[in-house]
Structure 1
Amino acid sequence: MARSELEKRKATPAAAFRVSPQEEPSAEWGWHGGFPRATLGGGVLVGLSMFGMLIGNHSGWTENLWLIGTGLFLLAGVGWLVHKRRTSWRG
């Protein structure tokens, strides 16, 4: 137990998830990981919102093409991540 506020508590992470503080400085002071489900959900949400922005007062097709292209690119990226996760054990 720490005797003062300035002392740090010793971290005891699982052996499989150890990260060297020299390689990743944030491992020393906090959680070190990612948000896989939030990444996929955010990608789908933003990709679909691109198609929602097609409704509006556009005067030309340039804006529509950029919105469609960006939405398809994001949804394709999410699909690739899902495929990569499902087939990662196969090598």
Structure 2
Amino acid sequence: MSEQTHRERISVNHPATERVNQPGREEGVVRAGAAPVEHERPEDWGWHGETGRWGRIGAVIATLFILAYLFGNHEGRIEDLWVVAIAGLMILILLLDWRRRRNAWRAK
């Protein structure tokens, strides 16, 4: 389907919308009379960067909970390998994060 045919189909099926050119973005379809979104900052949606200290504390607690699965009423040892591997991966990620923050210009 050609671009022109597609545009005609949209305008026929949705008369309450119009196409607008947005600087630095693709052409958008907005409601008639509404302004297109110029720029959305991540902070407007609640994202402010890293999880910080509480995220790292949560990761340590989650790792301890994973390791708690080693103690139980199971008899096989294959699942223990998986539990230790996952906990080891989580510890490795925490150590890499600690090293990155220690060597960063602006550590959080």
When the two structures are superposed, what TM-score results if normalisation uses the length of structure 2? Answer: 0.53
- Residue 27 of structure 1, aligned match among 40, 43, 55: 43
Deviations 1:15-64 (A, max 9, x none): xxxxxx7243x533x54313211221111111111111100112211110
The reply on whether 1:46 has 2:62 as its aligned counterpart is yes
Partner Cα separation in structure 2 for residue 51 and residue 31 of structure 1 = 32
Partner of 1:58: 74
Return the index of the structure with the highest Cα Rg: 2
SS at match of 1:27: helix
* Count of residue pairs brought into register by the alignment: 67
Q: Which amino acid aligns with 1:22?
A: H
SS at match of 1:73: helix
Partner Cα separation in structure 2 for residue 66 and residue 50 of structure 1 = 10
Q: Which amino acid aligns with 1:46?
A: A
Partner Cα separation in structure 2 for residue 58 and residue 86 of structure 1 = 40
Partner Cα separation in structure 2 for residue 76 and residue 87 of structure 1 = 17
Partner Cα separation in structure 2 for residue 22 and residue 70 of structure 1 = 40
RMSD of equivalent CA atoms: 2.0
Unmatched 5+ residue regions in structure 2? Answer: 1-37
When the two structures are superposed, what TM-score results if normalisation uses the length of structure 1? Answer: 0.62
Partner Cα separation in structure 2 for residue 80 and residue 23 of structure 1 = 31
Runs of 4+ in 1 over 4 A off after TM superposition: none
Q: Which amino acid aligns with 1:27?
A: E
Partner of 1:12: none
